[in-house]
Amino acid sequence: MNKDSHALELEAELASAQRQSSVYVYEAPVRIWHWVNAAAILVLCVTGYFIGSPPPSVGQHEAYDQFLFGYIRFAHFAAGMILTVGFLGRIYWAIFGNHHARQLFYLPVLNGHWWREIWFEIRWYLFLESEPKKYVGHNPLAQLAMFFFITIGVSFMIVTGMALYAEGAGQGSLYDDLFGWVIGLVGNTQRLHTLHHLGMWWIVIFMIVHIYVAIREDIMSRQSIVSTMISGHRTFKDDRMD
Amino acid sequence: MSQVETFYDVMRRQGITRRSFMKYCSLTAAALGLGPSFVPKIAHAMETKPRTPVIWIHGLECTCCSESFIRSAHPLAKDVVLSMISLDYDDTLMAAAGHAAEAALQDTIDRYKGNYILAVEGNPPLNEDGMYCIVGGKPFVDQLRHAAEHAKAIISWGACASYGCVQAAAPNPTRATPVHKVILDKPIIKVPGCPPIAEVMTGVITYMLTFDRLPTLDRQGRPAMFYSQRIHDKCYRRPHFDAGQFVETWDDEGARKGFCLYKMGCKGPTTYNACSTIRWNEGVSFPIQSGHGCIGCSEDGFWDQGSFYDRLTNIKQFGVEANADQVGMTAAGVVGGAVAVHAAVSALKRAQKKTQDKVEA
């Protein structure tokens, strides 16, 4: 009896595996960007925090014998450049990649269905829906968050960061020509530093929520999440519609 | 005074020798970053040009700009500049007072319409129809508008005229307003600082008189030759910054060794001025050299950037005084806590559902 049920279960599993298929969602450039971007953000947050609040002094040697703060700043600038180039590449791919690659850069605000789906997702996160919906790309709430935290947030950090970099590069430099207007806009760059700091925490908050939700949905939703950003394939756990 | 004297005439009259005059021309060329070929050009301009009248008016201010100006490090430069510009009206420095002084102002405006330079020290308060600053029985803002109408150019001396300084600090009860927000139709040169460096002030005036044009200005309208770099860029303590050697508390070992004052709230990295190159009091020292961080006095709204001794500015938008990192960390903490609770509830719900499914099956 017990054996029979086990055999039945196996059979059902096999049948379901045969029926279930995966969809190729995130193409290689998007996946590579995601992980490069994540690494750059991690480096930027850690070094950026230290630039605002330096580690304890290393005062044993002559100044020319060490370059600790210089290296921290170098890591920050290097990661910032990688983030910027990556973001530009991501914009390029949004134009030439598949339609999922475009999701980060627009919000279908005129689409009533999209707003209803956001409401549904909010209800799901408030434990008011017993079963989530299936999405091939980002769910609408995720799209909204990505747009404000990553597309707007990273753009803001690139622009303010480049303006701060232009201060060091000096007037007349390429950075100053491109981003010096930001310095003129805020007047005192002390304000720009403060805004850049707040921007970092904006992205840190996103990181916390993003990682939590990705793992939670990987377990509780009806589709793959974490592995999708590794393989690019979205797999589904059942064959029911929606 | 039928014929307006040239600068050279004035200098000779003041007892300055030809040799000293040529020295001054070389010094000025060097101070302005010009090559040796400009020395004869400056000399020629001095010999042939009628001196330019300057009207120097005072609004809400503390006279520190005047104090700095008359202490220009090189005595020759000071003498020359002071005698060179025909300072027709300056209620602090002029001998005349009362009605005679006001008459001198009107006389200069009438005589040199469109040719005089207006130097403004301090700024006009606009609240209560400008009643917070009265000059000669009238609101200062009226005097400013009147004098600016026929001026060739305006120099905004110091942080007051350029940005507003302490009287414009939040909540700015008198609505003290920088000059460029009141006079909109004249070229304005901002020479910020509280006060500006004396050599910067004399340098700017000499440049304008010699070349008959405004110096190159940066985005914020400051002479690029003095304000294009930060204190930090030319600070002699910069190697300690890059090495990661900071003063941690006043009078610690680092302070004695002359480490970087970054952690003590030095605003050098955000302050555009020439203190670390020209320095003060005949090039003797400047704040960082004497062991105190820069307070950023030549920057827009420097009184409103939190404490002079904090690296990170306190922001008040969130009700309590906290810097960006404290605000961010609190927000991240709240979000992190919410995530933890949400995760716990999710796990419970899932366990509950599994049990239910089992019961139903």
User: Can you give the CATH number for the domain in which B74 is found?
Assistant: 3.40.50.700
Which residues are bridge partners to B188 per DSSP?
Answer: B154
The residue assigned the tokens 């039928």 is B2
Per-residue model confidence (pLDDT) at position B191:
95
CA B78 to chain centroid: 20
Q: Do B259 and A57 touch (CB under 8 A)?
A: yes
B206, B227, B248 — which closes off a domain?
B227
Same domain, B242 and B345: no
Confidence of residue B1 (pLDDT cuts 50, 70, 90): very low
A window 219-238, beta carbon within 8 A of B:
219-220
Per-residue model confidence (pLDDT) at position A197:
94
Per-residue model confidence (pLDDT) at position A1:
45
The arithmetic mean of pLDDT across residues B306-330, rounded, is 81
d(CA A41, CA A76): 10
Per-residue model confidence (pLDDT) at position A47:
97
Residues in chain A with pLDDT < 70?
1-4, 10, 13-20, 242
- Structural domain of residue B217, as residue ranges? 7-227
Per-residue model confidence (pLDDT) at position B30:
79
d(CA A68, CA A57): 9
* Cα angle A227-A230-A234, degrees, rounded to a multiple of 5: 50
Interface pTM, i.e. ipTM: 0.86
B186, B203, B227 — which closes off a domain?
B227
In a domain, A4, yes or no: no
Mean pLDDT of the residues in chain B: 87
Q: A68-79 burial, b for 16+ CB within 10 Å, e for fewer?
A: bbeebbebbbeb
In a domain, A240, yes or no: no
Per-residue model confidence (pLDDT) at position B73:
59
d(CA B147, CA B144): 5
List the CATH number of the domain containing B247: 4.10.480.10
Asked whether the predicted pLDDT for residue B236 surpasses 60, the reply is: yes
Confidence of residue B204 (pLDDT cuts 50, 70, 90): confident
Confidence of residue B140 (pLDDT cuts 50, 70, 90): very high
In a domain, A121, yes or no: yes
Q: Do B245 and A59 touch (CB under 8 A)?
A: yes
Nearest to B77 by CA among B240, B178, B234, B203: B203
Same domain, B137 and B178: yes
Nearest to B300 by CA among B123, B158, B153: B158
Q: In this structure, which amino acid lies at residue A108? A: P
In a domain, B117, yes or no: yes
Which helix (H) or strand (E) segment holds residue A215: the answer is: helix A189-220
Same domain, B77 and B152: yes
Per-residue model confidence (pLDDT) at position B337:
92
In a domain, B191, yes or no: yes
In a domain, A88, yes or no: yes
The arithmetic mean of pLDDT across residues B172-176, rounded, is 94
In a domain, B2, yes or no: no
Per-residue pLDDT reduced to its tens digit, B263-315:
999 999 999 999 999 899 878 899 999 999 999 999 999 998 888 998 888 87
Asked whether the predicted pLDDT for residue B343 surpasses 80, the reply is: yes
Same domain, B117 and B195: yes
Per-residue model confidence (pLDDT) at position A16:
65
Nearest-CB residue to A194 (from B267, B315, B349): B315
Contact criterion met (CB below 8 Å) for B72 and B202: yes
Q: Among residues of chain B, what percentage have pLDDT more than 90?
A: 47
Which residues are bridge partners to B90 per DSSP?
Answer: B56
Per-residue model confidence (pLDDT) at position A119:
94
Angle formed by the axes of helices B38-48 and B18-31, nearest 10°: 120
The pTM of this model reads: 0.87
In a domain, A161, yes or no: yes
In a domain, B274, yes or no: yes
Residue B132 main-chain phi, psi, to 5 deg: -80, -10
Query: Residue B309 class from Cβ within 10 Å (0-12 exposed, 13-18 middle, 19+ buried)?
Result: middle
Same domain, B26 and B110: yes
In a domain, A2, yes or no: no
Residue ranges of the alpha helices (H) in chain B?
7-13, 18-31, 38-48, 64-69, 75-84, 98-111, 140-149, 158-162, 198-211, 224-227, 238-243, 253-257, 275-278, 324-360
- Structural domain of residue A212, as residue ranges? 25-235
B171, B197, B227 — which closes off a domain?
B227
Q: Do B299 and A187 touch (CB under 8 A)?
A: yes
Per-residue model confidence (pLDDT) at position B76:
58
In a domain, B322, yes or no: no
Confidence of residue B67 (pLDDT cuts 50, 70, 90): confident
List the CATH number of the domain containing A42: 1.20.950.20
Residues of chain A found within 8 Å of residue B329, distances taken between Cβ atoms: 201
Per-residue pLDDT reduced to its tens digit, B13-64:
777 888 988 887 887 787 777 888 888 888 888 788 777 788 889 999 998 9
The arithmetic mean of pLDDT across residues B323-336, rounded, is 88
Q: How many domains does chain B have?
A: 3
In a domain, B319, yes or no: no
Pairing of strands B314-315, B322-323: antiparallel
How close is the nearest chain A Cα to the Cα of B9, in Å? 39
Q: How many domains does chain A have?
A: 1
Angle formed by the axes of helices B198-211 and B75-84, nearest 10°: 50
Inter-chain contacts counted by CB atoms under 8 A, chains A and B: 147
